[in-house]
Amino acid sequence: MKRLLVGILCGMLAISTFAGCGSTKDDSKQETTAFTWPTNELAQAIPVADISSGEVDIDSDTLLVINWYKASLDDYNDYINQCKEAGYTVDPIEFDEYYSAKNEAGYKLGVDYEDDDKEIRIQVSHYSDDSDPSDDSSAPTEDATSDTTENTDSLTTDQSTDESTDSTGIRPEVKEFLDSYESFMNEYADFMEKYNNSSDVASMMKDYTTYMTKYADFTQKYEDLGDDDLNDEELKYYVDVQSRVTKRLIDVAN
Protein backbone atom coordinates (compact mmCIF):
# COMPACT_ATOMS: atom_id res chain seq x y z
CA MET A 1 0.00 0.00 0.00
CA LYS A 2 3.01 2.30 0.33
CA ARG A 3 3.02 2.89 -3.43
CA LEU A 4 -0.60 3.96 -3.18
CA LEU A 5 0.09 6.55 -0.51
CA VAL A 6 1.59 9.39 -2.55
CA GLY A 7 -1.18 9.53 -5.14
CA ILE A 8 -3.94 9.32 -2.58
CA LEU A 9 -2.32 12.11 -0.61
CA CYS A 10 -2.24 14.27 -3.74
CA GLY A 11 -5.99 13.89 -4.02
CA MET A 12 -6.51 14.52 -0.33
CA LEU A 13 -4.24 17.57 -0.36
CA ALA A 14 -6.21 18.90 -3.31
CA ILE A 15 -9.15 19.20 -0.95
CA SER A 16 -7.18 21.57 1.24
CA THR A 17 -6.12 23.50 -1.86
CA PHE A 18 -9.67 23.84 -3.15
CA ALA A 19 -10.91 24.69 0.32
CA GLY A 20 -8.55 27.65 0.25
CA CYS A 21 -10.52 29.04 -2.68
CA GLY A 22 -13.00 30.40 -0.18
CA SER A 23 -10.51 32.99 1.00
CA THR A 24 -10.31 34.49 -2.46
CA LYS A 25 -14.05 34.92 -2.52
CA ASP A 26 -14.20 36.64 0.85
CA ASP A 27 -11.01 38.55 1.66
CA SER A 28 -12.70 40.03 4.72
CA LYS A 29 -11.94 36.78 6.55
CA GLN A 30 -8.27 37.77 6.51
CA GLU A 31 -9.21 40.91 8.42
CA THR A 32 -10.44 38.90 11.40
CA THR A 33 -8.58 40.22 14.45
CA ALA A 34 -10.16 38.52 17.45
CA PHE A 35 -9.71 34.78 17.82
CA THR A 36 -10.60 32.62 20.79
CA TRP A 37 -9.30 29.06 20.93
CA PRO A 38 -12.22 26.58 21.08
CA THR A 39 -12.88 24.69 24.30
CA ASN A 40 -14.32 21.43 22.98
CA GLU A 41 -12.69 18.00 23.24
CA LEU A 42 -10.91 18.10 19.89
CA ALA A 43 -9.48 21.56 20.53
CA GLN A 44 -8.11 20.41 23.88
CA ALA A 45 -6.44 17.44 22.19
CA ILE A 46 -3.91 19.62 20.33
CA PRO A 47 -1.52 22.40 21.38
CA VAL A 48 -3.04 25.88 21.62
CA ALA A 49 -1.67 28.02 18.81
CA ASP A 50 -0.85 31.70 19.30
CA ILE A 51 -3.34 32.93 16.69
CA SER A 52 -3.98 36.65 16.41
CA SER A 53 -6.11 36.42 13.28
CA GLY A 54 -8.21 33.40 12.36
CA GLU A 55 -11.49 31.54 12.67
CA VAL A 56 -12.99 28.16 13.39
CA ASP A 57 -14.07 26.79 10.01
CA ILE A 58 -15.64 23.51 11.16
CA ASP A 59 -16.55 22.58 14.71
CA SER A 60 -18.30 19.24 15.15
CA ASP A 61 -18.02 16.20 17.41
CA THR A 62 -15.88 14.41 14.81
CA LEU A 63 -13.91 17.16 13.08
CA LEU A 64 -12.37 20.50 14.04
CA VAL A 65 -10.87 22.80 11.40
CA ILE A 66 -9.15 26.06 12.31
CA ASN A 67 -7.94 28.62 9.78
CA TRP A 68 -4.95 30.63 11.01
CA TYR A 69 -4.57 33.84 8.97
CA LYS A 70 -1.55 36.13 8.59
CA ALA A 71 0.74 33.25 9.50
CA SER A 72 4.36 32.76 8.52
CA LEU A 73 6.32 29.63 7.68
CA ASP A 74 8.09 30.07 11.01
CA ASP A 75 4.69 30.00 12.72
CA TYR A 76 3.95 26.74 10.89
CA ASN A 77 7.28 25.14 11.81
CA ASP A 78 6.98 26.22 15.45
CA TYR A 79 3.48 24.76 15.70
CA ILE A 80 4.53 21.47 14.11
CA ASN A 81 7.30 21.17 16.70
CA GLN A 82 4.74 21.80 19.46
CA CYS A 83 2.52 19.08 18.04
CA LYS A 84 5.40 16.61 17.89
CA GLU A 85 6.33 17.40 21.48
CA ALA A 86 2.67 16.86 22.43
CA GLY A 87 2.82 13.30 21.10
CA TYR A 88 1.65 13.60 17.48
CA THR A 89 4.39 11.34 16.17
CA VAL A 90 2.51 8.12 15.35
CA ASP A 91 2.41 7.21 11.62
CA PRO A 92 3.71 10.65 10.58
CA ILE A 93 3.47 11.98 7.02
CA GLU A 94 5.58 15.07 6.40
CA PHE A 95 6.26 17.31 3.41
CA ASP A 96 7.72 20.82 3.24
CA GLU A 97 4.48 22.50 4.24
CA TYR A 98 2.29 19.60 5.36
CA TYR A 99 2.31 17.42 8.45
CA SER A 100 -0.05 14.68 9.55
CA ALA A 101 0.24 12.28 12.48
CA LYS A 102 -1.72 10.50 15.18
CA ASN A 103 -1.16 10.29 18.91
CA GLU A 104 -1.63 7.44 21.36
CA ALA A 105 -4.82 8.98 22.76
CA GLY A 106 -6.83 8.36 19.59
CA TYR A 107 -6.61 11.67 17.71
CA LYS A 108 -5.32 12.47 14.23
CA LEU A 109 -3.86 15.86 13.33
CA GLY A 110 -3.29 17.46 9.94
CA VAL A 111 -1.59 20.84 9.43
CA ASP A 112 -0.73 22.52 6.15
CA TYR A 113 0.64 25.93 5.21
CA GLU A 114 -0.48 27.99 2.19
CA ASP A 115 2.36 30.37 1.40
CA ASP A 116 0.37 32.44 -1.12
CA ASP A 117 -2.40 33.14 1.38
CA LYS A 118 -0.12 33.13 4.46
CA GLU A 119 -2.57 30.73 6.06
CA ILE A 120 -2.19 27.68 8.26
CA ARG A 121 -4.99 25.13 8.29
CA ILE A 122 -5.27 22.91 11.36
CA GLN A 123 -7.48 19.81 11.32
CA VAL A 124 -8.03 17.32 14.12
CA SER A 125 -10.34 14.33 14.26
CA HIS A 126 -10.82 11.02 16.03
CA TYR A 127 -9.39 7.80 14.70
CA SER A 128 -10.00 4.24 15.81
CA ASP A 129 -7.38 1.56 16.31
CA ASP A 130 -8.77 -1.88 17.02
CA SER A 131 -5.33 -3.49 17.30
CA ASP A 132 -4.45 -2.57 20.90
CA PRO A 133 -1.62 -4.84 22.01
CA SER A 134 -2.33 -4.04 25.67
CA ASP A 135 -5.87 -5.40 25.48
CA ASP A 136 -5.89 -8.46 27.79
CA SER A 137 -8.97 -9.84 26.06
CA SER A 138 -6.81 -10.62 23.03
CA ALA A 139 -4.21 -12.58 25.02
CA PRO A 140 -4.29 -16.29 24.17
CA THR A 141 -5.35 -18.78 26.84
CA GLU A 142 -3.24 -21.81 27.69
CA ASP A 143 -5.53 -24.05 25.64
CA ALA A 144 -5.46 -21.65 22.72
CA THR A 145 -1.67 -21.53 22.84
CA SER A 146 -1.53 -25.31 22.79
CA ASP A 147 -3.90 -25.50 19.83
CA THR A 148 -1.86 -22.90 17.99
CA THR A 149 1.34 -24.86 18.52
CA GLU A 150 -0.23 -28.09 17.30
CA ASN A 151 -1.52 -26.45 14.13
CA THR A 152 1.57 -24.43 13.18
CA ASP A 153 2.22 -26.42 10.02
CA SER A 154 -1.35 -26.12 8.72
CA LEU A 155 -1.46 -22.40 9.49
CA THR A 156 1.79 -21.83 7.64
CA THR A 157 0.42 -23.69 4.64
CA ASP A 158 -2.80 -21.68 4.69
CA GLN A 159 -0.88 -18.42 4.99
CA SER A 160 1.32 -19.31 2.02
CA THR A 161 -1.78 -20.08 -0.01
CA ASP A 162 -3.35 -16.73 0.92
CA GLU A 163 -0.19 -14.84 -0.02
CA SER A 164 -0.09 -16.61 -3.37
CA THR A 165 -3.73 -15.72 -4.00
CA ASP A 166 -3.11 -12.07 -3.15
CA SER A 167 -0.25 -11.83 -5.65
CA THR A 168 -2.66 -11.85 -8.61
CA GLY A 169 -6.03 -10.24 -9.21
CA ILE A 170 -7.53 -7.23 -7.47
CA ARG A 171 -8.46 -7.85 -3.85
CA PRO A 172 -12.09 -6.86 -3.11
CA GLU A 173 -11.09 -4.54 -0.26
CA VAL A 174 -8.62 -2.69 -2.51
CA LYS A 175 -11.17 -2.27 -5.31
CA GLU A 176 -13.82 -1.09 -2.86
CA PHE A 177 -11.42 1.47 -1.42
CA LEU A 178 -10.29 2.81 -4.79
CA ASP A 179 -13.85 2.97 -6.12
CA SER A 180 -15.00 4.84 -3.03
CA TYR A 181 -12.00 7.17 -3.36
CA GLU A 182 -12.88 8.02 -6.97
CA SER A 183 -16.54 8.50 -6.10
CA PHE A 184 -15.69 10.77 -3.18
CA MET A 185 -13.31 12.92 -5.21
CA ASN A 186 -15.84 13.25 -8.05
CA GLU A 187 -18.52 14.33 -5.59
CA TYR A 188 -16.17 16.87 -4.10
CA ALA A 189 -15.18 18.18 -7.54
CA ASP A 190 -18.87 18.62 -8.40
CA PHE A 191 -19.35 20.56 -5.19
CA MET A 192 -16.35 22.80 -5.86
CA GLU A 193 -17.64 23.62 -9.35
CA LYS A 194 -20.88 24.74 -7.76
CA TYR A 195 -18.95 26.59 -5.04
CA ASN A 196 -16.72 28.44 -7.51
CA ASN A 197 -19.74 29.56 -9.56
CA SER A 198 -21.86 30.60 -6.59
CA SER A 199 -22.29 34.16 -5.37
CA ASP A 200 -23.73 32.95 -2.06
CA VAL A 201 -20.84 31.05 -0.51
CA ALA A 202 -22.18 31.36 3.03
CA SER A 203 -25.25 29.26 2.19
CA MET A 204 -22.99 26.42 1.02
CA MET A 205 -20.98 26.09 4.22
CA LYS A 206 -23.24 23.32 5.52
CA ASP A 207 -22.47 21.26 2.41
CA TYR A 208 -18.79 22.07 2.78
CA THR A 209 -18.84 20.86 6.38
CA THR A 210 -20.44 17.62 5.21
CA TYR A 211 -17.65 17.02 2.71
CA MET A 212 -14.95 17.69 5.27
CA THR A 213 -16.60 15.14 7.56
CA LYS A 214 -16.64 12.66 4.68
CA TYR A 215 -12.97 13.45 4.16
CA ALA A 216 -12.19 12.45 7.75
CA ASP A 217 -14.17 9.22 7.30
CA PHE A 218 -12.35 8.45 4.06
CA THR A 219 -8.90 8.85 5.57
CA GLN A 220 -9.99 6.34 8.22
CA LYS A 221 -10.87 3.86 5.46
CA TYR A 222 -7.37 4.27 4.08
CA GLU A 223 -5.85 3.51 7.48
CA ASP A 224 -8.09 0.46 7.93
CA LEU A 225 -6.90 -0.96 4.61
CA GLY A 226 -3.40 -1.58 5.94
CA ASP A 227 0.10 -1.24 4.56
CA ASP A 228 0.41 -4.11 2.08
CA ASP A 229 1.98 -3.35 -1.30
CA LEU A 230 -0.24 -3.46 -4.35
CA ASN A 231 0.23 -6.29 -6.80
CA ASP A 232 0.61 -5.48 -10.52
CA GLU A 233 -3.10 -5.64 -11.37
CA GLU A 234 -4.06 -3.52 -8.36
CA LEU A 235 -1.40 -0.96 -9.23
CA LYS A 236 -2.72 -0.68 -12.78
CA TYR A 237 -6.26 -0.21 -11.47
CA TYR A 238 -5.04 2.44 -9.06
CA VAL A 239 -3.17 4.32 -11.81
CA ASP A 240 -6.32 4.38 -13.94
CA VAL A 241 -8.41 5.70 -11.06
CA GLN A 242 -5.84 8.30 -10.05
CA SER A 243 -5.51 9.52 -13.65
CA ARG A 244 -9.26 10.13 -13.87
CA VAL A 245 -9.32 11.85 -10.47
CA THR A 246 -6.37 14.10 -11.33
CA LYS A 247 -7.95 15.14 -14.65
CA ARG A 248 -11.22 15.92 -12.88
CA LEU A 249 -9.50 18.09 -10.29
CA ILE A 250 -7.51 19.94 -12.95
CA ASP A 251 -10.72 20.63 -14.88
CA VAL A 252 -12.32 22.12 -11.77
CA ALA A 253 -9.24 24.20 -10.95
CA ASN A 254 -9.32 25.71 -14.44
* SS3 (DSSP) at 61: coil
- Name, of 114-123, 158-167, 195-204, the range with top average pLDDT: 114-123
24 vs 19: CA distance, rounded Å = 10
Which pLDDT score, from 0 to 100, does residue 45 have? 96
As a whole-number percent, the residues of the chain with pLDDT over 90 amount to 24
Provide the 8-state DSSP code for 48. P
Provide the 8-state DSSP code for 231. -
Tell me the pLDDT band of 27, cut-offs 50, 70 and 90.
low
Helix, strand and coil in the chain, % to nearest 5: 55, 15, 30
Q: How far is CA 95 from the centre of its chain?
A: 14
Enumerate domains of the chain plus CATH numbers. 1-25+171-254 (no CATH), 32-129 (3.30.310)
Contact between 109 and 151 (Cβ < 8 Å): no
Average pLDDT, the chain: 73
Q: How far is CA 229 from the centre of its chain?
A: 19
Q: CA nearest 119: which of 82, 66, 78?
A: 66
Mean pLDDT of 197-201: 71
Which pLDDT score, from 0 to 100, does residue 76 have? 96
pTM attached to this predicted model: 0.50
> In terms of DSSP bridges, do strands 90-95 and 54-59 run parallel, antiparallel, or are they unpaired?
unpaired
Question: Is 239 a residue whose pLDDT tops 50?
Answer: yes
More confident residue, 8 or 104: 104
Which pLDDT score, from 0 to 100, does residue 197 have? 76
Which pLDDT score, from 0 to 100, does residue 77 have? 96
Rg (CA), the chain: 21
> In terms of DSSP bridges, do strands 98-102 and 54-59 run parallel, antiparallel, or are they unpaired?
unpaired
Q: What is the pLDDT of residues 120-152, one digit of tens each?
A: 999 998 876 544 433 443 344 444 444 544 554
More confident residue, 135 or 192: 192
Tell me the pLDDT band of 3, cut-offs 50, 70 and 90.
very low
Query: What residues form DSSP beta bridges with 124?
Result: 64, 109
How would you label 208-243 residue by residue, b for 16+ Cβ within 10 Å and e otherwise?
Answer: bbebbbebbebbeebeebeeeebbeebeebbeebbe
Mean pLDDT of 222-238: 72
- Name, of 8-12, 48-52, 62-66, 97-101, the range with top average pLDDT: 48-52
Contact between 231 and 194 (Cβ < 8 Å): no
169 vs 108: CA distance, rounded Å = 33
Q: How far is CA 122 from the centre of its chain?
A: 12
Tell me the pLDDT band of 71, cut-offs 50, 70 and 90.
very high
Mean pLDDT lowest among 13-27, 54-68, 72-86, 221-235: 13-27
Q: How far is CA 63 from the centre of its chain?
A: 11
Q: What is the dihedral of CA 66, 127, 215, 52, to 10 degrees?
A: 10
